Amino acid sequence: MTKITINGREVEADPKRPLIAACHEHAEELVPMYCYHPGLTPVGSCRICQVEVKMGEMPPRVVVACRTPVSEGMVVNTEAPGAHDARRQCLEFLLKNHPLDCPICDKAGECDLQDYSFSEGQGEGRSVEPRRKLEKRKSLGDTILLDQERCILCSRCVRFYEDVAKQPQLTVAGLGSRSVISTFADRPLHGNYQGNIADICPVGALTLKKFRFQARVWNLDKHPSTCGECSRGCSISIEVLRRREVKRVRPRYDKDKNKWWMCDHGRFAFDRFNADDRLVGGFLRGAQGLEPKSLERVFDDLAENLRRKGEHVLLVSPWLTVEEGELVRDLAQATGATTRFVSPAADTDLRDDFLHTGDPCPNRRGLTELGFEAVEAADVSTMLAGATCVVLVGESVGELVTPEALAALPRSIRLFLLDTRAYAAPALRGALGVPDASERTGTWINVDGHPGRLAIAKAAPDGVPPLERSLRAVQERLDAGAEVRA
């Protein structure tokens, strides 16, 4: 560790990291940055991170913090008038060609250029030259849209593909004021990590097509959660508009799992949170097929069926949390039922050596540690043959087993479905809505054993109780019945 002084305070800085990292760690005032990103190689192209450094007896100099190594005895002043002045001038040049379309820009509200212009900029431009005119709606593949006018050429996106994704696809093409970000030979972007360049773009130049004009970012409620698309369990932030609709999922920094990044597969999988064909409330089979019944009645009936003698199977969803898994295990012990979790087929073509594990089962490790054994989705039908009462528990379990397999189950099986969606099946005796991953709390254990918390990002539809409450209610009924018999 190296001893330096930042804004009058003596601190210890990591000599392997640039000065700006030490400033961010120790100075109270944030040193602005556009081209610098802690996960990328610093290049010092934007010059916005200038701070004043005094070494020994030399007069103080204004240097670029992201390209200055930390050395013993440095006296850094991030708030020096000279540094402020240099940063203000940088901003004026950056804003010279940056269009004033904040009102229609999706980045507005989380835009670094806006923030620093507000805190450090001079408020008005002196340039009388026209702004450069470039292409405002350039598509870079299926995911990303490039607005060349807004780009400040920080080259973060270029370096992301070089340093992180390890497959260079972008470059800065052209010279001088005609420089633009471009793919090689204008080929569309490919790969599973395109969305990250929209996250790290400090301005609104690279935006997600899927999020284009969907919401103003200040209207989004951000809820820390965990991605459920593979067993990596990336830390994410689920962003919800008006407490109802998930509009965007973004990676959340987690040093153990995904750092700053996430894959497009997980990023764009949130549509299922917005599905409106949800199973809401409780249903029991009556004279007219499945009839809506109160939750209490469904719990009673489920407990009654589990109490009967026979071969019971509790088949749970791979998205079940550890907490819910424990309750299912208790239920199985009380009824002597067999428990299995449905293991979906691996996405081998999505597997890579960066984030995606190819195993679309976010809690495989947690469920296995709880004692659940996996059953391949294809083998479910053979496993259920001969069972008397089958309870499918958890989000999307019906979809994994496939509706056709459900419909093909013989009527001799009394089937209960605790799922987010309803499926028609002759064997179906009762159904109950459960919340999806954006509507409940809990823990998933990822492939490396790191826990990932789920958070309630939006409310479950009316009439959908938390799964844990439903399981406890059934357990209570079983316990009460056992006492009566004893």
Partner 1 sequence: MVIVKRKELSLMERLFLPEIVRALSHSFRAIFQPKITRQYPEEGLPTNEVTRGQPRLTLLEDNETLACVSCGLCEVACPAYAITIDGQETDRFIEREPERFEIDMLRCILCGFCEEACPKDAIFMSDELELADFTRAALVYDIDKLKRPKAALQKRIDYFYKVNDRWRKSSSTS
Distance (Å, rounded) from C-alpha 146 to C-alpha 207?
7
The residue within the footprint of partner 1, chosen from 55, 102, 346, 374 (CB under 8 A), is 102
Instruction: Identify the bridge partners of residue 138 per DSSP, sorted by sequence position.
Output: 146
Residues near partner 1 (CB under 8 A), total = 20
End-to-end CA gap in the chain: 69
Which of 172/215 has CB closer to partner 1?
215
Is residue 216 involved in binding partner 1 (CB under 8 A)?
yes
171 contacts 158 by C-beta, under 8 angstroms: yes
Minimum distance between the CB of residue 136 and partner 1, rounded to whole angstroms? 7
Minimum distance between the CB of residue 34 and partner 1, rounded to whole angstroms? 21
Minimum distance between the CB of residue 148 and partner 1, rounded to whole angstroms? 14
Choices 94-102, 152-160, 381-389, 451-459 (CB under 8 A): range interacting with partner 1: 94-102
Distance (Å, rounded) from C-alpha 220 to C-alpha 441?
20
Which of 97/196 has CB closer to partner 1?
97
Q: Identify residues 220-279 at the interface with partner 1 (CB under 8 A).
A: 242
Is residue 1 involved in binding partner 1 (CB under 8 A)?
no
Is residue 426 involved in binding partner 1 (CB under 8 A)?
no
Is residue 214 involved in binding partner 1 (CB under 8 A)?
yes
Is residue 479 involved in binding partner 1 (CB under 8 A)?
no
Closest among 46, 150, 45 to 108, alpha carbons compared: 150
141 contacts 194 by C-beta, under 8 angstroms: yes
As a residue count, the chain comes to: 486
Based on C-alpha coordinates, what's the Rg of the chain?
A: 28
Is residue 219 involved in binding partner 1 (CB under 8 A)?
yes
Minimum distance between the CB of residue 144 and partner 1, rounded to whole angstroms? 15
Instruction: Identify the bridge partners of residue 250 per DSSP, sorted by sequence position.
Output: 237
Query: CB neighbours of 255 closer than 8 A, spacing ≥ 6?
Result: none
The residue within the footprint of partner 1, chosen from 15, 99, 141, 310 (CB under 8 A), is 99
Is residue 108 involved in binding partner 1 (CB under 8 A)?
yes
Which of 138/450 has CB closer to partner 1?
138
The sign one gets for the Cα dihedral 322, 328, 332, 334 is positive
The string of DSSP letters for 138-205 reads EEETTTEEE-TTT-----HHHHIIIIISSS--EEEESSGGG-EEEEGGGPPP-SS-THHHHHH-SSSS
Minimum distance between the CB of residue 85 and partner 1, rounded to whole angstroms? 22
Minimum distance between the CB of residue 106 and partner 1, rounded to whole angstroms? 9
Query: CB neighbours of 265 closer than 8 A, spacing ≥ 6?
Result: 192, 229, 230, 347, 350, 356
User: Is residue 125 exposed (0-12), middle (13-18) or buried (19+ Cβ within 10 Å)?
Assistant: middle
Which of 7/214 has CB closer to partner 1?
214
The residue within the footprint of partner 1, chosen from 1, 58, 104, 486 (CB under 8 A), is 104
The residue within the footprint of partner 1, chosen from 8, 103, 243, 309 (CB under 8 A), is 103
Which of 66/95 has CB closer to partner 1?
95
Q: Is 338 helix (H, G, I), strand (E, B) or coil?
A: strand
Which of 101/373 has CB closer to partner 1?
101
Is residue 89 involved in binding partner 1 (CB under 8 A)?
no
Q: Identify residues 113-152 at the interface with partner 1 (CB under 8 A).
A: 123-124, 131, 136-137
Choices 216-224, 310-318, 383-391, 420-428 (CB under 8 A): range interacting with partner 1: 216-224
Q: Is 447 helix (H, G, I), strand (E, B) or coil?
A: coil
Which of 41/119 has CB closer to partner 1?
119
Closest among 365, 369, 305 to 337, alpha carbons compared: 305
Minimum distance between the CB of residue 151 and partner 1, rounded to whole angstroms? 16
Q: Give residues in contact with partner 1 (CB under 8 A).
A: 99-104, 108, 123-124, 131, 136-137, 212-216, 218-219, 242
